[in-house]
Amino acid sequence: MIKTNSRRDVLKLAGAATLASLLPSGKSFAQAAGNVVVIGGGFGGGTVAKYLRKAGVNVTLIDANAGFVTCPFSNTVLGGFGEMRQVSHTFDGMRRAGVNVVTGTVTAIDSAAKRVTVQGNATPIAYDRLVLSPGIDFKFVGTAGAIAGYDEAAAEKMPHAWKAGPQTELLRRQLIAMDDGGVVVMTIPNNPYRCPPGPYERASLIAHYLKTSKPRSKIVLLDGKDTFSKQGLFQAAWTALYPGMIEWVSFSQGGNVARVDPATNTVFTDFGQHKGNVVNVIPPQRAGRVVDLIPNLATGDYCQVNPTTFESRSVPNVHVLGDACVAGAMPKSGFSANNQGKVTAVAVAALLRGQAPVAPSMINVCYSLVNPDYGISVSSVHKIGDDGTIISVPNSGGTSPAAATAEFRKMEADYARGWYASISNEIWG
C-alpha cells in the first residue's frame, strides 16, 4: 500500500543531496521534502507542475518542445476562425511559478536509481517522484494495430493533425488549396483515443469552412466504430447546419480503415476505397513513447495506475496521468488530464510528507463547437467506485439537451471559449 516515510527517512534523504537543491528559498522544510520531475508540459504535466509549486514542492518540468500547442481549439484553426497563436503557449508562466523548465528529449529513465537523462545533458536529473504525462503517440507502420501504409512520411501527405502544431497548419493549408467541389476524407479510430468527440468537432468546423468558402465540397468520415460521443447532437447539428455535406460511414457500413496510399491520397477500407482531395488520417494511438523507457510501465498500449495517486501499478515512485494512463470512466481529454493533475499533485505532496493521500474527486467537461456560435457539451463527475476504479457518479453528468434554443447553443459556445481561456491560464498563464 502506501509507504509512510518517517521524518528521519526524509531527513536522511535531504542530507544525501544538498539542502540547497531541495529547498526553494523562503519555504519551510515541511513543504519541500523532495524533488519531483514531471515529463510533459501539456494539460496533465503542466497542471501537476503548477499545483506542486502551490504546495511548495521543487519541480523540474521536462518537455521536448519549448512550448505547448493544444489540440483543444485547434479545430477552430481548421475552421478558419481561429489562429495558431491562440492555441500556442510558452512555459514562461511555469518559470514564473518557480518551475525549473528543461527543454530536451528524455533518453533514459533509471527507475531504480530514480534519475532521468535528457539528451545533451551529461548529468542526470534526480527525482524522489517522477510524473509522466506524455500524452499519446501514434501507431505507425511496424506497430501492431497500425494502418498499413501510414507512417511519419505519409503524415506529411495525409496529416493526422492529432498533435497540434505544424500538422494543424499543414491540414489547414491543404483545405485552403482544395478546389470547391473537393472531397475531404477523414479516418477515425476505434476507442480508446485522445479526445473522443474531437473528430466530429473537426468535421463540423471543416464543414463550417467549406460551407462558407467551398460549398459544393463534401466530407466523408470513415469510422472504426458504430457509435460516437455526442452522436445525436452532432448529427442533428449537421442536418441543420450542413445538409448533405457530411457523410458518416460507421464500422458496420465499411468505415474501418485497413490501408492508405499516400501517393494517390486513397484510403482502403474493409469494403472499398475512398480517394480524397484532402485526407486527414487520425491514426490508432498508444501512450507517449517515453513510457517505454521504463520496463513494464505500460500494460499494452497504456499504463495502469492507482486512481487515488496516479502512481503506476507496476513501478513505484512513478506516476502516469492524462492520455497515457488507464483512468476508468474518464475519457482521454485535456480536462481529464487537468483534473488528474490536481489529484496527482495533492497526492504526491502528501506522499512526500509521509502522509496518506486523500480520496480523489474529479470532473470532465468536453465542449465541442459545431460552428462558432453553436456549442455542445458532455460532462461527468468522477470518484473511486467500490471496485477501486474511477467511475462516473450515477445520475450525474451527460450531454447537452437534444432540444435547445439557439441562445442555449450560443451560451455553450461562449462557455467553451471561457473554459479554454480559464484552463489555459491555470496551466500556462
Partner 1 sequence: MISRTICSVVFLSLAFGGTALAQTTDPVVLANSCSTCHGPDGKGLPNNPMPPINGRAAPAMATALKGFKADQPVVTIMNRLAKGYSDAEIDAIAAYFANIK
Question: By the criterion CB under 8 A, which residues form the site for partner 1?
Answer: 1-2, 4, 30-31, 51, 54-56, 308, 335, 338-339, 342-343, 346, 349-350, 353-363, 365, 377, 379-381, 383, 393, 395-398, 400, 408, 411-412, 414-415, 417-419, 421-423, 425-426
The residues that bridge with 136 in the sheet, in sequence order, are 287
The least distance separating partner 1 from the CB of residue 65, rounded to whole angstroms, comes to 23
Closest separation in Å from C-beta 27 to partner 1: 10
- HSE-up of residue 333 (Cα within 13 Å, Cβ side): 27
Collapsing DSSP states into helix, strand and coil, what is residue 231?
helix
In terms of CB distance, is 247 or 426 closer to partner 1? 426
Question: Rounded to an integer, what distance in angstroms lies between the CA atom of residue 420 and that of residue 41?
Answer: 16
Pairwise CA distance, residues 318 & 313, whole Å: 9
Q: Between residues 280 and 380, which has the closer beta carbon with respect to partner 1? A: 380
Dump the DSSP string for 162-190.
Answer: -S-SHHHHHHHHHHHHSPTT-EEEEEEPP
In the complex with partner 1, the residue whose CB is nearer, 159 or 375, is: 375
Torsion angles phi and psi, residue 375, rounded to 5: -115, 150
In 3D space, the residue among 393, 390, 422, 418 whose CA is nearest the CA of residue 321 turns out to be 390
Residue with cell 465542449: 367
Q: Which of 165, 231, 173 is nearest to 203 (CA)?
A: 231
CB of 390 to partner 1, least distance (A): 13
Task: Return the closest-CA partner of residue 292 out of 323, 331, 337, 324.
Answer: 324
Partners of 260 in the β-ladder = 267
CB of 204 to partner 1, least distance (A): 19
Q: How far is the CB of 213 from partner 1 (least distance, A)?
A: 29
Least distance in angstroms from the C-beta of 346 to partner 1: 6
Please, which residue, 140 or 415, has the CB nearer to partner 1?
Answer: 415
Would you state the cell numbers that stand for residue 110, as one nine-digit string? 533509471
Nearest approach, Cβ of residue 194 and partner 1 (Å): 18
CB contact at 8 A, 187 and 267: yes
Query: Measured from the CB atom, is 175 or 346 closer to partner 1?
Result: 346
Residue 429 CB neighbour total at 10 angstroms = 15
Nearest to partner 1 of 389, 425 (CB atom): 425
Minimum distance, C-beta of residue 361 to partner 1, in the bound complex (Å): 5
Which residue lies nearer to partner 1 by CB, 113 or 403?
403
- By beta-carbon proximity to partner 1, the closer residue of 17 and 421 is 421
